[in-house]
Amino acid sequence: MENREIAIKIQGVKKQYRLGQIGSGTLTRDFQSWWARVRGKEDPNAKIGAGRITGETLMALNGIDLTVYKGERVGIIGRNGAGKSTLLKLLCRVTAPTCGEIDIYGRITSMLEVGTGFHGEMTGRENIYMNGAILGMKKAEIDRKMNDIIEFSEVSEFIDTPVKRYSNGMFVKLAFSVAAHLDSEIMIMDEVLAVGDMAFQDKCLEKMCQVSETGKKTVLYVSHNMNTIRMLCDRCIVLDDGMVIFDGNVEEAIDIYLGKNRAIKEKYLFS
């Protein structure tokens, strides 16, 4: 493994959130929450059953050390709240780690949720150009790939329609096609393929395997669908409570996630 080129190196990464302080969604709602605390009132934006704001902290990630090599297809699995999406957001620079270092060797395209990176008022074609420009590609380069992107996306009839009129499935098809065809070295995907139909999911998985093998593109894929993890990934990481509890064989990782192999989990934790 030492002779392989590194795509992502994570060292001692932690991410801490302070519960109930910020993040209601808008500045207005954050001000409403703050004013309620000042007056000793109930937070008008708190979820039912959440209780009063306590100011407690949450360690979404608690000491992640991880190296991913170029051309690998890495699955990331774990229960809800394990830290999967937080890890991907750190890699995509959506947010910053509380401490630790993340080194990324290459350009990233990501699909963290439906419509990420797309501007609703722009057409599908215009969004393709914008995404390519963000990756540092020239117009001529994007032009050469445009027909392949449109054909793969299966939305050619609507490519010159503002994407705000697209369904979630159409969003995913175009977004994945852009991510798969533009010149980035790392592709990061978080569960979004679940929105698409089964035929398109299979098509996407086949494409990700192809670009990984022929173009040395690194793929990080989060999913609760173990069949797609099996089909795509050659390595799998299990997260629990913000920590890596297993990193290795896909089937062993799935067994740990499903609670079928506690012996391997304990061996890995205490080794």
Highest mean pLDDT pick, 28-37, 55-64, 111-120, 251-260:
251-260
Give domain status of residue 151, yes or no: yes
Domain total for the chain? Answer: 1
Give domain status of residue 76, yes or no: yes
Give domain status of residue 236, yes or no: yes
Check residue 51 and give left, alpha or beta (phi > 0: left; psi -120 to 50: alpha): left
223: containing domain = 6-269
Give domain status of residue 106, yes or no: yes
Residue 198 has pLDDT above 80, yes or no: yes
Q: What percent of the chain has pLDDT over 70?
A: 85
Give domain status of residue 53, yes or no: yes
> What are the two backbone dihedrals, phi and then psi, of residue 3, each rounded to the nearest 5 degrees?
-85, -5
Structure tokens at 258: 């499903």
Structure tokens at 126: 């215009």
Give domain status of residue 63, yes or no: yes
Structure tokens at 18: 């302070």
In angstroms, how far is the first alpha carbon of the chain from the final one?
A: 20
- B/e letters for 167-195, b = 16+ CB within 10 Å, e = fewer, are eeebbbbbbbbbbbbbbbbbbbbbbbbeb
Beta-ladder partners of 236:
75, 248
Q: Is the pTM of this model over 0.85?
A: no
- Residue 54 has a pLDDT of 44
Query: Distance between CA atoms of 195 and 228, rounded to whole angstroms?
Result: 14
As a three-state string, the secondary structure of 70-124 is CCCEEEEECCCCCCHHHHHHHHCCCCCCCEEEEEECCCEEEECCCCCCCCCCCEH
Tell me the per-residue pLDDT of 106-117, one tens digit each, with 9 for 90 and over.
988 888 876 667
- Residue 51 has a pLDDT of 42
**Separation of CA 15 from chain center:** 16
Cα dihedral 134, 139, 144, 149, rounded to 10, equals: 40
- Residue 19 has a pLDDT of 66
**Separation of CA 236 from chain center:** 15
Q: Do 9 and 65 meet the contact criterion of CB atoms below 8 Å apart?
A: no
- Residue 25 has a pLDDT of 56
Eight-state DSSP code of residue 257: H
Tell me the per-residue pLDDT of 145-192, one tens digit each, with 9 for 90 and over.
999 999 999 999 999 999 999 988 888 888 888 888 887 899 998 877
Q: What is the CATH number of the domain that holds 206?
A: 3.40.50.300
Q: Do 220 and 91 meet the contact criterion of CB atoms below 8 Å apart?
A: yes
Cα dihedral 243, 248, 252, 257, rounded to 10, equals: 20
Give domain status of residue 1, yes or no: no
- Residue 247 has a pLDDT of 95
Using pLDDT thresholds of 50, 70 and 90, give the confidence band for residue 208: confident
- Residue 199 has a pLDDT of 85
Structure tokens at 64: 């992640």
Residue 204 has pLDDT above 50, yes or no: yes
For residue 16, which amino acid is it? Q
